[in-house]
Amino acid sequence: MRKLIEQPGIDTAMQGAAGKSHKHESAARQVSGQARYVDDMPEATNLHHVAIGVSPVTAGTITSIDLSQVKSSAGVIDVITVEDIPGHIDIGPVYPGDPLLANSEILYHSQPIFAVLASSVTLARQAALKAKIAIAESQACLSVGQAKAQDNFVHPPHFMHSGDFETSYQQSPIQIEGKMLIGGQEHMYLEGQVSMAIPEEEDRILVYTSSQHPSEVQKLIAEVLDIKLHKVVVDMRRMGGGFGGKETQAAQWACIAAILASRNKVAVKLRLPRMLDMMVTGKRHPFENRFKVATDNQGLIQATHVEINGNCGHSPDLSNAIVDRAMFHADNGYFLADSYIEGHRCRTNQVSHTAYRGFGGPQGMIVAEAMMDAIARKLGKDPLAVRKLNLYGKDNRNTTQYGMQVEHNLLADLIDKLEASCDYQLRRKQITEFNKSSPLIKKGLSLTPVKFGISFTAKHLNQAGALLHIYTDGSMQINHGGTEMGQGLHTKIGQIVANEFGVPLSHVEVTSTRTDKVPNTSPTAASSGTDLNGKAAQNACLAIKHRLADFYAEQVKGDPKQVVFTEQYVVLGDEQIAFAELIQQAYMKRISLSATGFYKTPKIHYDRNTGKGRPFFYFAYGASCSEVSVDTLTGEYKVDRVDILHDVGKSLNPAIDIGQIEGGFIQGMGWLTSEELLWDDTGKLTSNNPATYKIPAIGDTPEIFNVDLYPRANDEDSIYHSKAVGEPPFMLANSVWCALKDAISSITDYQIDPVLHPPATPEKVYNAIEQAQTWVEKQA
Amino acid sequence: MISFLLNNEITHIDQTKADLTLLEYLRDQQKLTGTKEGCASGDCGACTVVLAEVVNHGKNTNDSLEYRAINSCVTFLSALHGKQLISVEHLSEQKKLHPVQQSLVEHHGSQCGFCTPGFIMSMFALYQSPTQPDREGVIQALSGNLCRCTGYRPIIDATLKACENKIVDKFQKVEPETINRLKDITKQNISTSNLIVPTSREALASARATYPDANVFAGSTDLALQVTQQLKTYEKLIALSAVPELNELTENEHGLLIGAALPLGKLESKLLQHFPQLSELLWRFAATPIRNQASLGGNVANASPIGDMPPALLALNAKIHIDDGAQKRIIPASEFFLDYRKTALKPSQWIEAIFIPFTAQNNYVRAYKVSKRYEDDISAVCAVFNAEIIDGKVHSINNGVGGVAAIPASVTALSEALNGELWSSKKTFETGNEILKQAFSPLDDVRASKSYRIAMLCNLWKRFWLETNQSTQKIETRIVHIPSATSEMPDA
């Protein structure tokens, strides 16, 4: 009988195994310019381009809109306002509050009011400048302080109680209070927001978008177009960076493109220019937090009160969960004892602040680190000693402020190992000596831990699906609900599938995320991409493996449970068959070679009424030690050396995991140092381009940068006992901020804990230095 | 007609919009979408491409190709003439990746991949340079490329590794042929109807007379922002890049005469040879791709208050050579800047060259910059001091400062007050400090506050005083190693 297809030569190289440092699946295409992003796709001949017209003021009511000159501008074929939206106007992802285009009320500066469709990008953008819009301005609310004074919140507050804070606080010998103004952060994904919508037959529509959440884009497009979800297909191959900035806030541009495509029956692309992208999309939330912490005479915490105030911008977006996560992480790795955590969701007239790597976690954890430094200075101890003293215990002092027992806690051992490997104690002595003899340049050192909870705190999102096809030559395609934004998710999923079948990675193609392949997916967020989709993909593999095992066991009269898939063979006892051969036979015997897989995270629950539960499947741990040099003349500084030990469980791909750790660290360092969001008095963002908003550049990478993986498998049953790695390393950068404070504190012979609100720009560092110097002068 | 090699194809452009950027040309017209738009303002490097140019380093030397990375998003097409434009698609040989590409893959140096083509092109330009770079050299070469994913460590390693064992790549294999193909391109009649490219002083004068409203540009890194950020349209533009007088670099016993249209990248080594103390200023002047395009003349003519070279020119008593095709005149840099973005240039005039006189043996020169980020950032404050000290006493203190006033400025009161004072005396420092504290009333803006700017001016003065006084030299004053800055200084 003629073979269905010719057999390719069997690869002897085992590429498929998980746990190896396979290259990013797109690496070769990325370095040669072949990797295709939405703006690079072949363009339909009828493609038109959209520009957005925005509000020049921060708050008010639109009194008139004259778009006649926009409409008559060269190349323009259509202009839409809120009146032209066929279906839902509000695209709020969880709670309402986000009108697709301004609905009479102006809620923030540069809020989109209309969209114009023209034959070229430039003509559309030039036309958008010709609108005449009159707005009756009203008083804008521009800060957390103003919002609280006005009782202006996007959502009610949330509280977590554990024990009697007030009594313990009063009874403790050491009492410390502090306040922190914590800056937000621009995502600065290198690929800006972009979507391309292609109208198909009747009311059907296909949309290519750069989004972390294709299913939500699908749903919102259906809603704004007033059609059913099954008429909309969203395709997402890769993003040029997301970091949370494309979790909810990619949808608006896709919806606008879809409406214009649907109205005009032409292909439509909407790509935001960088400055507008920075002005109209939400950022990491700025926070204003306060703490009161009491300890015994050794610095052991007895009572803690943390007040968390998130600046949510004009609408809820994801702020409720983000402020919650800040509350869940106000302890970082420390036992807060009798504690009271309150979280407020303040409404301001800013863009709606949104998800960003860590999702509020960093803004909570930095408070914990601030408390440790404050306790250490008060007691004249090394901050590392105070940190170690306050770590969660094994048998007692091991319950979080939300009632979750911290099991399998790795921090004590992980810190000990890092402290030894980075020579902390020796360098501490050397730095103290150096600072005594160096009047202008001061060095600082800090070692801080990370404990980060893994799972979406919205329980229903902890589910995933996958779709596996095996073709008759034994090659396969896996599709899953996660999106690839550079983090290596597709590489890891490919490895998992290859590993399950014992085939080379090159035989597995991970295809673009599409809403017509796996439905109702969760966003790729909360570090959960591999945990959820990896398990779903594995389950799809297992379904087909069972069929194949049964089929082969029947042939050779063996036990299907003993069938092994390895090195491109299917083996049962002494019998074996080439995998591709078995696939052909299975096809001929009419065995289905396609399967779906599904997964939901076990064990998790949380009761918002009591503020108690187990919201996280497990914790990911890590620690970092940073050494900095500070120029006291200018406040400029340099991170000289960083040592990291991080827990990724049993690594699926060490190279990719280390890439996440290093990249997350530098991004976190940017948040805490040079990345300063500034709004003017009217509420307009002034740090609105890469010339004025400074993410770390290549020279900011520390010359000594040692990163190691902590060798221990996840105690929970995660995919191959690996751990999530997307967000946790971001907060390793806390040690940079603490090291800067350490350097400044040296001016006072480590007597005071300097006030240094993040981001610690050179100017803020300089101001803290001046305060330290003034303190010294007063002592003299 | 603009003629160039587009990767390997001789390409001619007869007609073009004057203000079409090279990035738009590549992506929209040539459908070469490997080159990305990240910001369209020369700040992120995603659009980096490489221009190869035939150079000859003097008598009895062979022609060779010089490869320079530039930001295609702020480049107009006249920059291509007579050069080879290399985009990321052209580096590999069939499926075999170029060594810089292979190295980046092996070091796991790409994550989302959007910045990657730009990095590859900067790495490629560095690979073609004759020297083997160290870590600092890599950082310099890649200073204009932002990556948000990797934290850069694997990119640095990949670049070092690729440049460690260079092989003769496909470009070097055909270098003589490429040189001949480029030399065959005529140097005349470059102009298109909208983009005028004069090739002589007379032609430039005539073009300016014919199109009095047309803007002139050299590197276009500033003017292009009007197009990409402000959405302005320029029907006609006049390029200065092909006028010989504006592209010369000559040295005599008195100083350096630098053609106004010369990119900073081409004058860097000569300038630093004579003024090593300007190293920090040049190293922190934007980033490599911008310096490969931006000219000293443009930096002066744009008169930005923070503009990085004008403070140095003020401190060094530079002279601006101005021309209108009929009459040349020379004015001191100190008389050139009149008001915010206003200069002594008349509408028909252009800057031909800038003359920087050598300093005497007795001079201490230091140039400092303070900004949020070291690489590719605009100064909060920039200060250049040039103190002539004779027998330990102040003879003059010329200076130039940026970021504290509407124009690059000098504090003449420093010289007046300190003349004859003992340089090493603490009182000299303190008097200067008081003068600088009162000298300006700078603005609060996105880069820095007024009070910080004033404090920085005073503290940079302090650093200058400390560093140039022998007794205090043992004190560590810097946290960054300034590439190629020498510690050489005269005896006080």
DSSP track, B54-98: EE--STT---EEEEEEEEGGG-BGGGGTTSEEE-GGGSSBTTBPP
CA distance B492 to B69: 42
CB contact under 8 A, A31 and B370: no
Q: Which residues of A touch B231 (CB under 8 A)?
A: 122, 125-126, 129
Using DSSP, state whether A276 is helix, strand or coil.
helix
Portion of chain B with pLDDT greater than 70, in percent: 97
Average pLDDT of span B121-143: 97
CA A219 to CA B188: how far, in whole Å?
60
Nearest to A190 among B44, B104, B156 (CB): B44
Instruction: Report pLDDT for A608.
Output: 94
Q: CA of A439 to nearest chain B CA: how many angstroms apart?
A: 7
What SS3 class is residue A516? coil
Report the C-alpha gap between B475 and B423 in whole angstroms.
18
Ranges in chain A, pLDDT < 70:
1-16
For residue A380, the model assigns a pLDDT of 98
**DSSP-based three-state secondary structure for A451:** strand
How far is B87 from B80, CA to CA, in rounded Å? 13
| Per annotation, catalytic residue among A201, A727, A770, A777 | A727
Cα(B400)–Cα(B418) distance, integer angstroms: 16
* Listed residue (A404, A405, A391) closest to A334, CA to CA: A391
What is the reported pLDDT for A491? Answer: 97
pLDDT at A501: 97
Q: How much is the pLDDT for B472?
A: 60
Measured between CA atoms, the residue of chain B closest to residue A766 is: B452
Distance, in Å, from the CA atom of A235 to the CA atom of A777, rounded to the nearest integer, reads: 64
Interface of B with A in 266-305 (CB under 8 A): 287
Cross-chain residue pair A691–B44, CB shorter than 8 Å: no
Task: Tell whether the model's pLDDT for residue B71 goes beyond 90.
Answer: yes
- Closest CB to B373: pick one of A485, A634, A697: A697
User: Cβ of B135 under 8 Å from any chain A Cβ?
Assistant: yes
By Cβ distance, the residue of B154, B372, B466 closest to A659 is: B154
Q: Which two tokens stand for residue B462?
A: 């302090």
pLDDT at B135: 97
Q: What is the mean pLDDT of residues B114-141?
A: 97
CB contact at 8 A, B79 and B86:
no
Q: Which of B322, B145, B304 shows the shortest CA–CA distance to B222?
A: B304
Across the interface, of B39, B448, B477, the residue whose CB is closest to A440 is B477
Task: Give me A384's structure tokens.
Answer: 């590392």
CB contacts of B93 in chain A (<8 Å) are none
**Across residues B62-87, what is the average pLDDT?**
97
Mean pLDDT for the stretch of residues B44-59: 94
Cα gap A621→A414, rounded to integer Å:
8
pLDDT score at B471: 67
Q: What is the dihedral of CA A642, A648, A650, A655, to 10 degrees?
A: -60
- SS3 category, A293: strand
Measured between CB atoms, does B477 come within 8 Å of chain A?
yes
pLDDT at residue B20 is higher than 50: yes
Tokens of A264: 């005009």
Q: Is the ipTM of this complex over 0.90?
A: yes
One DSSP character per residue, A520-572 reads SPPPS-TT-HHHHHHHHHHHHHHHHHHHHHHHHHHHHT--GGG-EEETTEEEE
Place of tokens 């009271």: A340
Looking at residue B473, its pLDDT comes to: 59
Which residues between 219 and 258 in chain B have a beta carbon less than 8 angstroms from any beta carbon of chain A? 229, 231, 233
Res. B492: pLDDT tops 90: no
CA pair distance B459, B466, nearest whole angstrom: 10
Minimum distance, in Å, between the CA of residue A122 and any CA atom of chain B: 7
Q: What is the pLDDT of residue B477?
A: 86
- Distance from B478 to chain A by nearest Cα, in Å? 7
Give the global pTM.
0.97
What separation in angstroms does the CA of B435 have from each of B68, B366, B368, B411? 44, 19, 18, 8
Q: Which two tokens stand for residue A192?
A: 């800006």
Residue B304: pLDDT band by 50, 70, 90 thresholds? confident
- DSSP letters spanning A453-490: EES-SSGGGSEEEEEEEE-TTS-EEEEES---SSSSHH
The minimal CB distance from A691 to the residues B41, B149, B156 is found for B41
Q: Give chain A's end-to-end CA distance (angstroms, integer).
A: 99
Q: How many CA atoms, within 13 angstroms, populate the side-chain half-sphere of residue B113?
A: 27
Q: Does the pLDDT value for residue B489 go beyond 90?
A: no
Best probe of the A interface among B149, B150, B371, B465, by most A CBs < 10 A, is B149
Q: Name the minimum distance, in Å, from the CA of B374 to any CA of chain A.
A: 7
Half-sphere exposure of B106 (CA within 13 A, CB side): 13
Side chain identity, residue B401: V
Structure tokens at B253: 């016993």
- What is the pLDDT at residue B490? 38
pLDDT of residue B308: 85
For chains A and B, count residue pairs whose Cβ atoms are closer than 8 Å. 246
Spatial distance between the Cα atoms of B82 and B99, rounded to a whole number of angstroms: 27
Q: Which pLDDT band, with edges at 50, 70 and 90, does B482 fall under?
A: low
User: Which residues make Cβ contacts (< 8 Å) with residue A272, sequence separation at least 6?
Assistant: A52, A192, A193, A194, A253, A280, A281
Q: How far apart are CA A371 and CA A392, in angstroms?
A: 15
Polymer length of chain A? 780
Closest CA to B311 of B369, B249, B251, B258: B369
Distance of CA A396 to CAs A335, A400, A453, A510, A619, Å? 10, 11, 20, 46, 18
Q: Identify whether A727 is a catalytic site residue.
A: yes
Task: State the amino acid at position B266 in one-letter form.
Answer: K
DSSP calls for B2-22 = EEEEETTEEEEE----TT-BH
Q: Is B478 on the interface with A (CB under 8 A)?
A: yes
Q: Distance (Å, rounded) from C-alpha A509 to C-alpha A491?
A: 9
